[in-house]
A and B are shown apart, each in its own frame.
Chain A
Amino acid sequence: MTSYASVVDRIYKRHASEKYSNISYLHHPSGVTVVVLREIPESEVISVEYGATKKHGVDRSNVAVVGKGKKGGVVLQTDTKLCTIKCADGSEITVRSGVKGTLVEMNDRLKTQPDLIRTAPENQGYIAVVTYGAGIRETDGFGEVLPQKRLKLQKL
């Protein structure tokens, strides 16, 4: 059966996170990283909360960035919390950035369709988009390169 490299593998490089095992990074060579969930929970995801849980926490999904320089983006430290994922079985997953950079975008579709994070983790269920200063294409905090995925055409 014919198989193809996935869209992600065609365009991005997949890295583990040095610090956190529950996420991986899809890194575009121009210097933009998509943070995705690596350890997929078995139970359905019922909500994703963007940091507003803390008393003075910033709701990361409402932060707008302006211009080419992505002004206004939340500055991330490696341990900055991105979101908290709540599953139907009561378990909670905390997602931290693992890299230093600027948060460009949180996936706001997860507010209405949180389970996408489980069913399409490397597609519509991505978590966040991170970038770095002008001209910076690589960053610390990436772990080993993860294997590529081949997609096989499926029969009916």
Chain B
Amino acid sequence: MSELVNLSLCSLCIRQIAGENSENVQQCEKAYECMLCFGILDQEMIDEVGERVQEAFQKTPYDSSSFILALNLPVAQTLRETLISRLRPDFNGTICSVPFKVRNIDAYIKKLQSYSGKRPTLSSDLQLMITFEQEEFNLQDLDFLKNEFPNDFRRSKRNRFDNKEEPVECTKQQLQCVTNRINESIAKKFKFQSPTKKCTFRLNFERDPVFIAGRYCKFSRCLPQSPWSEEKDGPREPGNSVSEKVCDVLKKEFCASDSRFITSGREDIDVRMLGDGRPFVVELRNCRITEPVRGKKYIDTLSEVAKKINANKDVRVNFLTRVTREAAEKLNQDEDEKRKQYTAHCYSILPICVDSFENACQKIPLEIIQKTPIRVLKRRSLLDRPRNIYSMEFMILDSHHFLVRLETQAGTYIKEFVHGDFGRTRPSLSELLGVEHGEVDILELDVEKVDLDWPPKYEQPVWFR
């Protein structure tokens, strides 16, 4: 029988894992010197974490009565657990077969309940993640694993050529890949050392996002959809965008840390969005308050919130409601099949007679080919983009001016369809009207309708937890 590796463990690990009379095991002086648990299970450590959790809940209160506890343990520690299990099959402590993670959760969960006043459960919309860090061994552990499993720790070509820094630690995923292949003979080569410092830890709260759906109208011709400035790195005027005008109110209402404004398409800064409005979803992340949108309360709450948003004159939201994540994700499906309706105010330098309008209408429905407009060419690939014009109606104002109402496939660049974009959209409106050698330009554009059932309607209102 070969010699057993010498270990120095804390009293708790000796009792629970090693067993009181195991050979070649010493009890370490300080709990954090334990080669197995790094002192994470030490009562003092647990109390310290508990106090910090309490503090954090007081500073940023969440209106949730329960939480999920997640522990993120140092990779070094997971590695040692594996190594010791390979090296010391002789261990016979009281709970030596229980995985470390479960031991940990058990140790923390009770304490945290009393410190936080919230119930730890398996299903809650609030998650508390405690990340323990012990970085002393990162580099030497990585070197050890690299030596034993060179193929698993080879840097990818891309990494090497990107001049990124050499990794200084082994990731969780990397370790998981090789765990099963660590056998006794490999484990024997490992040199155990006691940590010289206590673990540090970080707390991280995360609440399931709340999705608020609706449709927005925009009545201004100088309001962008998302924060924007003319200069490349110029200052963006805060609050001057549809997304901010909608999201900021919601964020404030539910104390969200972050929000995402997801829409079905977008309109230019100088284009109005009329009719029922454009479908959108706001993803509110990490809300501290969700009570007013639980159950069916969201129906009343959100109609009040809508009034607050609609207090400003440039933007109006309609049909505000809460939706599930699954429903929210449906917003951007089948993009290509959607239809949009527009009204454009146009003029032609050359006068147009009534017959030309009638001739143009007869060519509809029509497929046009748009080369990526110059205006957006910097950000998008140069492609021939075929788009359908489903309907076209004119309202003649005088011999030069007219309104045109179009129904088109989503993604049609309307302004370019009107003025032709150097003849890169073909046919363009001027071609259809037979005034190609003059010039046709667009003065104003409104989106009248975005054809999508949104927000989703249900026979019974959805009940939210």
Contact = CB atoms under 8 A, between A and B. Distances in A.
Interface in B369-390: 371, 374-382
Given A7-B439, A126-B422, A30 B351 contact: no
A119 interface: yes
Nearest to A105: B382
Interface string B429-443: 000000011110100
A67 interface: yes
A151 B350 CA distance: 10
Nearest to B353: A156
Contact of A120 (B351, B380, B437): B437
A150 B422 CA distance: 18
B381 A67 contact: yes
Given A7-B441, A32-B377, A124 B420 contact: yes
B232 interface: yes
Main secondary structure of the interface of A (DSSP, over half): loop
Contacts of B419: 7
B381 A68 contact: yes
Given A70-B382, A104-B377, A123 B422 contact: yes
Contacts of B381: 65-68
B349 interface: yes
A138 B371 CA distance: 23
A123 B349 contact: no
B19 interface: no
A6 B439 contact: yes
Interface stretch (A54-62, A81-89, A129-137, A140-148): A129-137
Interface string B97-117: 000000000000000000000
Given A11-B375, A28-B375, A154 B351 contact: yes
A4 B349 CA distance: 9
Given A4-B441, A34-B374, A129-B374, A124 B349 contact: no
Contacts of A135: 232
Contact of B437 (A65, A67, A119, A156): A119
Contacts of A154: 349-351, 438
B280 interface: no
A85 to B, nearest CB: 17
A29 B381 CA distance: 18
A80 to B, nearest CB: 19
A131 B351 contact: no
B379 A30 contact: yes
Given A30-B375, A32-B377, A123 B351 contact: no
Given A7-B441, A67-B381, A123-B439, A29 B230 contact: yes
A34 B378 contact: no
A68 B379 contact: yes
A81 B436 CA distance: 30
Contacts of B439: 6-7, 123, 151
A117 to B, nearest CB: 12
Most B Cβ at <10 Å: residue of A28, A29, A107, A123: A123
B211 interface: no
Contacts of B377: 30, 32, 104, 129, 131
B441 A30 contact: no
A88 to B, nearest CB: 20
Contacts of A68: 379-381
A65 B382 contact: yes
Interface residues of A, number: 37
A131 B382 CA distance: 12
A31 interface: yes
Interface string A1-28: 0101011001100000000000000001
Contacts of A126: 422-423
B347 interface: yes
Given A7-B441, A66-B381, A124-B422, A151 B374 contact: no
B172 interface: no
Contacts of B437: 119-120
A68 B350 CA distance: 37
B202 interface: no
A12 to B, nearest CB: 8
Contacts of A32: 374-375, 377-378
A14 to B, nearest CB: 14
Contacts of A7: 419, 439, 441
B347 A28 contact: no
A43 B376 CA distance: 35
A109 interface: yes
B325 interface: no
Interface in B296-350: 347, 349-350
Contacts of B420: 123-124
A50 B232 CA distance: 34
A28 B374 contact: yes
A124 B375 contact: no
Interface string B388-406: 0000000000011000000
Nearest to B426: A109
B378 A151 contact: no
Contact of A137 (B232, B380, B441): B232
19 contacts: A10-B441, A11-B375, A29-B230, A30-B375, A32-B374, A32-B375, A34-B374, A34-B422, A65-B381, A68-B381, A109-B423, A119-B437, A123-B422, A123-B423, A124-B422, A129-B374, A129-B377, A154-B349, A154-B350
Interface of B: 230, 232, 347, 349-351, 371, 374-382, 399-400, 419-420, 422-423, 436-439, 441
The 7 closest A-B pairs by CB, nearest first: A124-B423, A30-B378, A7-B419, A126-B422, A153-B400, A7-B441, A32-B377
